[in-house]
Amino acid sequence: MEVYGTELASRLFLGTAQYPSPTVLENAIKASGSDLVTVSLRRETAEGSGAHFWQSIQSSGVRVLPNTAGCHSVGEAVTTAKLARDLFGTSWIKLEVIGHADTLQPDVFGLVEAARILVQEGFQVFPYTTEDLIVGEKLVEAGCEVLMPWGAPIGSGQGLRNSDALRAMRAHFPGLPLVVDAGIGRPSHAAQAMELGMDAVLLNTAVAKAGDPAAMARAMALAVEAGRTAYKADPMESRDMAIPSTPTLGMAVLT
């Protein structure tokens, strides 16, 4: 998978929040095979655990995608992105502008405005958005070269609540990298997203809160691989009626 001119070996992107310890996080990253993880500026700069956390990320040898998690305004998101660029040394930013406190749904109006500002400032933006096609078009017009539509509210584990809209998004943006971000709770959800033609999946809670995070990370990696392989194999469409797999021609007729 190629994003902003950079080739990534894995189509599974991993969040780094909520893990019980840095060691558990390191093991999960290794088991996932992921080479891209998201990092919150707030987490990295937290007192006490911040330094240890950042050392764990660096030792994993993965690429870092800072995010603007928790930002509820354009100004806050832009400022956080600039601080993250200075701290992490990358122009990549996962842009979040949250519009609703309960659902954590993106404020799509603020998102487009913030994306436009950050692109002009030299950032390469990964916008956390809805599956709305018009919003997607506005983000692309603003300079985004990847879209990250949600599958369901962050941390809900509900899976894909609107698979038809995601399928339409894939058809509407045939050459653009699409990453399902948020809502993935089980490997079957990840496989479904990839079967729809998504280019990657970004998840966090499903692995971090599992009884065995490393095992779940491995399961998610296998699901992403299986879903992608199935999509490339051009799977059969569902049918309303049964069709026999054995031909009826030549069958014996008993009288």
CATH number for the domain that contains residue 160: 3.20.20.70
Answer whether residue 183 is part of any domain.
Answer: yes
The answer to whether the CB of 146 falls within 8 A of the CB of 106 is: no
Count other Cβ atoms within 10 Å, centred on residue 71.
Answer: 23
The answer to whether the CB of 174 falls within 8 A of the CB of 206 is: no
Task: Tell whether residue 81 is among the known ligand binding residues.
Answer: no
Answer whether residue 173 is part of any domain.
Answer: yes
Question: What is the pLDDT at residue 143?
Answer: 97
pTM metric for this prediction: 0.89
The answer to whether the CB of 187 falls within 8 A of the CB of 157 is: no
Class of residue 30 by CB neighbours under 10 A (exposed 0-12, middle 13-18, buried 19+): middle
In one-letter notation, the amino acid at residue 82 is K
In one-letter notation, the amino acid at residue 51 is A
Answer whether residue 201 is part of any domain.
Answer: yes
The more confidently predicted of residues 242 and 139 is 139
Answer whether residue 244 is part of any domain.
Answer: no
For residue 132, pLDDT over 70 is answered with yes
Task: Tell whether residue 204 is among the known ligand binding residues.
Answer: yes
Give the whole-angstrom CA distance, residue 146 versus residue 199: 10
Tokens for 159?
């899976």
27 falls in which pLDDT band (50, 70, 90)? very high
Answer whether residue 246 is part of any domain.
Answer: no
Question: What is the pLDDT at residue 3?
Answer: 95
The answer to whether the CB of 110 falls within 8 A of the CB of 96 is: no
Q: How much is the average pLDDT of 109-132?
A: 97
The answer to whether the CB of 160 falls within 8 A of the CB of 195 is: no
Question: What is the pLDDT at residue 46?
Answer: 47
Tokens for 156?
């809900």
The 10s digit of each residue's pLDDT in 214-243 is 999 999 999 999 999 999 998 888 888 887
For residue 44, pLDDT over 90 is answered with no
Answer whether residue 251 is part of any domain.
Answer: no
The 10s digit of each residue's pLDDT in 170-182 is 999 999 999 999 9
User: Catalytic: which of 30, 94, 209, 232?
Assistant: 94
Answer whether residue 255 is part of any domain.
Answer: no
Give the whole-angstrom CA distance, residue 126 versus residue 128: 7
Mark whether 209 is an active-site residue: no
Determine which of 9-13, 16-20, 205-209, 250-254 has the lowest per-residue pLDDT on average.
250-254
Determine which of 97-101, 102-106, 240-244 has the lowest per-residue pLDDT on average.
240-244
Task: Tell whether residue 159 is among the known ligand binding residues.
Answer: no
Instruction: Tell me the residue range of the domain where 102 lies.
Output: 2-233
Task: Tell whether residue 183 is among the known ligand binding residues.
Answer: yes
The answer to whether the CB of 228 falls within 8 A of the CB of 11 is: yes
Tally of structural domains, the chain:
1
Residue indicated by tokens 């609703």: 100
- Residues sharing a CB contact under 8 Å with residue 131, sequence separation 6 or more, in sequence order: 149, 150, 162, 165, 166, 168, 169
Give the whole-angstrom CA distance, residue 3 versus residue 94: 13
Question: What is the pLDDT at residue 228?
Answer: 97
